[in-house]
């Protein structure tokens, strides 16, 4: 099975590019973005992924405002053979210049959610450490990921009307990942496993002249499974990013998080992050949430539009809900991202705080699958 990329000298195995190196059914290749304005009153997120062994290409787009109205667009199709074909119905992702500029378009459709948005990079592409998680002797995640910070311009249309996105006041993060992780329908094979725990925290933050970035996967006792912190320069435009400095970062020795939760939820009401450099110097960052976005709007834990689920040859659907009326301990509402105002004592910034906690987690006092904070 050949596609256009097979004409380039980029092969890593003897197989054509379309053939994943692993036969795991949960192989995926995903592009994800968020965007938010400087006053923290609007946010949008979007994602598109191909699941080669499942034969599916799907996408999600969702936006929320300060009033709590979240509008969603979902689409799925049979995956095309050609990997440069990144269109699902009215949705398409265009790579204008790799690692510099991308465009996302959703043409007018029956969901009344549409957009024409362009992302312009302001940092180099920042490769994270490889993320590998286990359940017993089986890998549940084995992924490579990179992040890139930038600015947005364009328009978004929802059932509530249209709003403009401009580079002066809209920031965002691009997140590319590929490998293996749990997607699609969960199929029980062999002996059932006992329910486990999951803790994930991600904090991509933008300051005046740099970005800071931290990612955590913790075990049930709070032990570090994946823990990484770094900073990287922020440039005025994508044209100012020196090509030879791609992947240049200042890596921290480690990072530490502290979270205060809203009572009877697993939602952060305040968070602190320590970035500890190679010489032991600690920079403490506080994060105050401004706006909440429900990740089910991007297919994470959605009961019917979860990522990688077969929906037919082509399916499109829209959904709207009030984030303030949701049961925050319902499984599909646990995973969130919040726009946060940040401070390190000498300067302020803005960014996103993503979090999901499932099952027991000792540092927060969680003992059951979905109990809330005291």
SS3 25: coil
Share of the chain above pLDDT 70, in %: 99
Residue 280's Cβ-count burial label (10 Å; 0-12, 13-18, 19+) is exposed
Place of tokens 């984030």: 323
Give the global pTM.
0.95
SS3 170: strand
**Residue 113, pLDDT above cutoff 80:** yes
**Residue 360, pLDDT above cutoff 80:** yes
The answer to whether 297 and 45 have CB atoms below 8 angstroms apart is: yes
Q: In 10 A of CB 200, how many CB atoms?
A: 18
If pLDDT is split at 50, 70 and 90, which confidence band does 135 have? confident
Q: What is the pLDDT of residue 192?
A: 78
Give the span between the Cα atoms of 111 and 129, in whole angstroms.
Answer: 38
Q: What is the pLDDT of residues 42-65, one digit of tens each?
A: 999 999 999 999 999 999 999 999
What beta strand segments (E) does 279-363 contain? 282-294, 314-322, 336-343, 348-358
| 231 DSSP β-pair partners | 212, 250
Q: What is the pLDDT of residue 196?
A: 81
Q: What is the pLDDT of residues 308-348, one digit of tens each?
A: 999 999 999 999 999 999 999 999 999 999 999 999 999 99
The answer to whether 27 and 307 have CB atoms below 8 angstroms apart is: no
| 320 DSSP β-pair partners | 71
| 189 DSSP β-pair partners | none
Distances (CA, A) of 159 to 69, 134, 211, 317, 331: 10, 42, 34, 14, 27
Q: Which residues contact 113 (CB under 8 A, 6 or more apart)?
A: 61, 63, 71, 72, 73, 106, 157, 158, 159, 318
Query: What's the rounded mean pLDDT across residues 294-301?
Result: 97
Q: What is the pLDDT of residues 210-237, one digit of tens each?
A: 999 999 999 999 999 999 999 999 999 9
Name the phi and psi angles at 122, rounded to 5: -125, 0
**Residue 247, pLDDT above cutoff 80:** no
Q: Tell me the two tokens of residue 319.
A: 């959904």
* Domains identified in the chain and CATH numbers: 25-178+196-364 (2.40.370.10)
Q: What is the pLDDT of residue 174?
A: 98
**Angle at CA of residue 159, ends 169 and 92, nearest 5°:** 70
Q: What is the pLDDT of residue 223?
A: 97
Among candidate residues 1, 81, 31, 63, the one with its CA nearest the CA of residue 307: 31
The answer to whether 231 and 250 have CB atoms below 8 angstroms apart is: yes
**Residue 248, pLDDT above cutoff 90:** no
């Amino acid at each position: 099975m050949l596609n256009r990329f097979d004409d380039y000298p980029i092969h890593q195995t003897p197989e054509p590019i379309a053939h994943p190196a692993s036969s795991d059914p949960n192989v995926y290749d995903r592009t994800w973005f968020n965007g938010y304005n400087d006053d923290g009153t609007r946010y949008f997120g979007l994602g598109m992924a191909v699941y080669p062994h499942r034969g599916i290409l799907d996408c999600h787009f969702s936006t929320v405002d300060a009033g709590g109205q979240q509008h969603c667009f979902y689409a799925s199709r049979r995956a095309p053979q050609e990997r440069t074909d990144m269109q699902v119905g009215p949705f398409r992702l265009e790579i204008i210049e790799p690692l510099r500029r991308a465009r996302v378009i959703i043409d007018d459709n029956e969901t009344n959610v549409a957009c024409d948005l362009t992302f312009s990079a302001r940092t180099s592409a920042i490769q994270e450490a490889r993320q590998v998680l286990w359940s017993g002797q089986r890998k549940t995640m084995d992924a490579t990921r990179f992040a890139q910070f930038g600015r947005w311009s364009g328009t978004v249309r929802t059932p509530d009307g249209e709003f403009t996105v401009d580079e002066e006041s809209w920031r965002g993060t691009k997140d590319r990942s590929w490998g293996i992780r749990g997607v699609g329908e969960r199929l029980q094979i062999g002996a059932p496993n006992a329910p486990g725990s999951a803790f994930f925290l991600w904090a991509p933050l933008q300051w005046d002249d740099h970005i800071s970035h931290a990612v955590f996967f913790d075990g049930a006792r709070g032990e570090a499974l994946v823990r990484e912190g770094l900073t990287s320069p922020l440039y005025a435009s994508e044209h100012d990013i020196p090509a030879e400095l791609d992947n240049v970062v200042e890596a921290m020795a480690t990072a530490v998080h502290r979270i205060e939760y809203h009572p009877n939820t697993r939602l952060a009401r305040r968070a602190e992050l320590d970035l500890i450099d190679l010489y032991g110097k600690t920079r403490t960052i506080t994060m105050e949430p401004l706006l909440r976005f429900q990740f089910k709007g991007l297919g994470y834990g959605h009961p019917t539009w979860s990522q990688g689920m077969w929906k037919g040859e082509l399916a499109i659907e829209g959904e709207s809900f009030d984030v303030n009326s949701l049961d925050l301990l319902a499984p599909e509402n646990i995973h969130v991202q919040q726009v946060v105002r940040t401070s390190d004592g000498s300067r302020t910034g803005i960014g996103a705080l993503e979090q999901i906690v499932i099952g027991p987690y000792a540092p927060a006092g969680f003992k059951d699958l979905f109990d809330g904070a005291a």
